[in-house]
Every structure is written in structure tokens, then in C-alpha cells.
Amino acid sequence: MIKRAFAVLGVIAVFALGFWAASWYFRQKAEEEIRSQGTVLLEKVSKVRKLVTVEGNFSELYDETNIRKFTLYMPMPTTWNFSKQAILKVTGKVLVGYDMEQVSISVDSLQRRIVIGNLPEPRILSIDHEVEYKNLEESFFNSFTPEDYTRINKNAKAVLRQKAEESSLVGEASRQGNQMLDVMRFMVESAGWELVVERQGVEIEVDSLLKN
């Protein structure tokens, strides 16, 4: 009877120990999961003064090949090539327009003039891109690393920027900006005022800008 009682107590003790260990493990996992959800923080809030006049959508195939050479000199020099290749589809949205951060607007009530200064040239404001890997091939002595994926992503974005710069987006953004300037002039002149554009301290006729 005593042996049976000890056996029952032993089973109960093992079960209780297992239950406590399981509870502790899942409690720790739950705490880890809760903590991991709090790692994204808002670090900075900035005012944005950008005027988007043109949006372009691009899609490109990006192919990158890296070859690593190994040479052994026993008994004769022999070279082996180990390559890795990444083929990916890059899609992105390119926004082109004006950074209005440095633009100044002054009002001359005596001469009934509105002077716009530091009017910028249109440029690429942002590139929002996505990468879809179509094919990855690697060798035993030349495999992809996390740094490779970061670099490939960066290069893919650079390809989109180059394509956008070679396209007609910036020119179209300039035409759209001139149209907005013409509308502003019409509204100002309708009120009996004059719209003046100033660059580097020199006044420029609005008509000359609209011809570009």
C-alpha cells in the first residue's frame, strides 16, 4: 500500500511539474510575442510642402549575375567559376513635381503685385517600388546573403529612377506646372493685380516661363 501511495504521489508530482513547466513556457512565449509587437515606433513627424503634378507607373525586369572565381595552384593553376543570378520584376510608382519648401510669396499692396520667389524646377519626389523575384540561382561557394538582397533591392530602385529620368515625366511635370502658373496669373489679373516671378533677384515674365 505504501509503495502504491508513493507511486501515485510520484505520478502526481511529475504531472504537476510538467504542467508548471508548460505554463511557464507558454507564458514566456506570450510575453515575447507581446513585446515584439511594440517595436515599431514613430520617430519623426515632418511637414511636407511638395506639389505632385505627374505620376508614372513603371515595370522592369532586372537581371543581376555575380561570378566568384577560385584558383588552385596544385599541381597546376586551375580556376573554377561559381555564379549566382537573380532575375526579378520591379514595379513602381514615380511621383514628379515641385518641392515648395523654399518658395516665397510676398504681396506688394501699393503696386498691387504678388511676387513668387525661389520657384523650383520639377524633379522626382518619391519612388514607391515592389520587387518580385522570378528566379534565383546560386552555387555552393557563392550563395545569396541578406546583404545581397538589400543591395539588389537598392539597385532595382535605382533602375526605376534612371528609367523615370530618361522618360518624359519631368518635361510633362514642367508643362503641368506652367499650366497651374497660368491659372494663378489669370486669377490674380482678374482681381486687378499683377503676378510676378522672381529668380535669383531678377524678375521674369510669366509668359517666358509658359513658353518652356
User: Same domain, yes or no, for 55 and 110?
Assistant: yes
* pTM to 2 decimal places: 0.68
Distance from the first to the final alpha carbon of the chain? 105
User: Same domain, yes or no, for 37 and 61?
Assistant: no
User: Same domain, yes or no, for 131 and 55?
Assistant: yes
Average pLDDT over residues 68-84: 76
User: Same domain, yes or no, for 92 and 32?
Assistant: no
List the beta bridge partners of residue 181: none
User: Same domain, yes or no, for 77 and 107?
Assistant: yes
Distance CA 85, CA 70 (A): 18
List the beta bridge partners of residue 55: 95
What is residue 39's predicted lDDT score, i.e. its pLDDT? 52
Q: What is the total count of domains within the chain?
A: 2
Average pLDDT over residues 72-98: 84
Match 543570378 to its residue by C-alpha cell.
Answer: 85
User: Same domain, yes or no, for 110 and 133?
Assistant: yes
Residue-wise pLDDT tens digits, 27-39: 444 444 444 444 5
User: Same domain, yes or no, for 124 and 34?
Assistant: no
Distance CA 59, CA 135 (A): 17
For residue 60, give its domain range.
50-210
Percent of the chain residues past pLDDT 70, beyond the cut: 75
User: Same domain, yes or no, for 3 and 67?
Assistant: no
Least confident of 80-84, 174-178, 189-193: 80-84
What is residue 41's predicted lDDT score, i.e. its pLDDT? 57
Q: What residues contact 55, with CB distance under 8 A and at least 6 apart?
A: 93, 94, 95, 96
